[in-house]
Amino acid sequence: MIHKRLNLLLLIMFISVSCKQELTNTKLNGPIFGTFYDVTYASNNNENHQKSLDSIFAVINQSMSNYQSDSDIAKVNRHELDRVDAHFVEVFKTAKIIYNETNGVFDPTIGKLVNAWNFGSELNKTKLDSLKIDSLMQFVGFEKIVLKDNTLYKTDPKPYIDFNAIAKGYAVDVVAAFLDSKNSTDYLVNIGGELRTKGININKQSEWTVGIENPNFDGSQSYDKVFELKDKSMATSGTYRKFKLDANGNRYAHIINTKTGYPSKTNILSVSVIADECMLADGYATAFQAMGVENVKQFLTKHPELQAYLIFENEDKNFESLALNNFPVK
């Protein structure tokens, strides 16, 4: 009898060890939000969460996509809706925090001007001049919109909301929360370069490896830095793919200056931000792009919870890089 119990115990231990050894990465990827997603998570039974991811993306699109005419945000902007869902509320609250912390440099009501400069969801064929830009600036001002419970109140009906600068990061956080709910301890969620990691890469038995691209204007891809990231989020904003040139060859970023309505003239080519939440990293990366190197350095002295890596052009038109708040690059 003791012999049988011992054999049974050994069998249970063998099965348990075998299950642990079978833990391996499952990868899901595809197009979303005008870009791509790549989700990798450890599983010992090949759990496929594709349907759940599709559902998450559909719900977020329905809530906040300016490219979808029947979305909640599109209806809000047409004054057809003022009561919004929980996803909209979460993004609105975080956007308001970043708006206040950056003194309005980050402002999700800049959408009309983003579209006017043909950086957004609507194609503009009208030539812009100072009068047109001044008229569109009436639509800017996040302070004119207040959220109480799930209802939006506008002190001015004009502001047009666009969460594109923060929504991808939020979607990363939602997918990560879903994986947490499935007791996943190891994953990498990547949506268009905005990412969040937890645990390790099970297949390689090492921390997740991530990279920061070089600002190559010819469209080629190479990496300035490659490093390991654990239990953190990172988002990158770059001006080297979407920009405009003036008659003198000066580059203007796709980030619109919220005070002037014109594309930002900046020497910053790429900003990567590490934070606990990808939504925060995404929003601050956009803001830092428009703030300039010195202002970012000053800002981060008051925000030790954020880490940043900047690639910029110096006065000699040569590339320089700057790691702030112990950004983990060598």
pLDDT of residue 256: 83
Q: What is the DSSP letter of 257?
A: P
- Is the residue at 141 inside a domain? no
Q: What is the pTM of this model?
A: 0.87
Using one digit for the tens of pLDDT, what is the confidence trace for 117-160?
777 656 665 677 788 888 888 889 999 999 999 999 998 888 99
Task: Please indicate, yes or no, if residue 151 is contained in any of the structural domains.
Answer: no
Residue 237, in any domain of the structure: yes
All residues at 6 or more sequence positions from 27 whose CB lies less than 8 Å from its CB, including other chains:
38, 39, 40
* Segment 270-274 mean pLDDT: 96
User: What backbone torsions phi and psi does residue 146 show, to the nearest 5 degrees?
Assistant: -120, 140
> CATH number of the domain that 295 lies in?
3.10.520.10
In this structure, is residue 108 part of a structural domain?
no
Q: Is residue 260 part of a domain?
A: yes
Band (102; pLDDT cuts 50, 70, 90): very high
pLDDT at 110 over 60: yes
Number of structural domains the chain divides into: 1
Mean pLDDT computed over 289-295: 92
Q: How far is CA 308 from CA 109, 163, 227, 242, 273, in A?
A: 25, 22, 14, 21, 4
More confident residue, 313 or 167: 167
Does residue 115 fall inside a structural domain? no
Domain that holds residue 293: 209-330
Which of 89-93, 175-179, 253-257, 314-318 shows the lowest per-residue confidence on average (mean pLDDT)? Answer: 253-257
Does residue 173 form part of some domain? no
Name the band, by pLDDT with cuts 50, 70 and 90, for residue 251.
low
Whether residue 307 lies inside any domain: the answer is yes
Here the tokens at position 232 are 């953190």
Tokens of 307: 């880490």
Q: Evaluate whether 255 touches 264 at the Cβ level (below 8 Å).
A: yes
Query: Which amino acid does the sequence have at 188?
Result: L
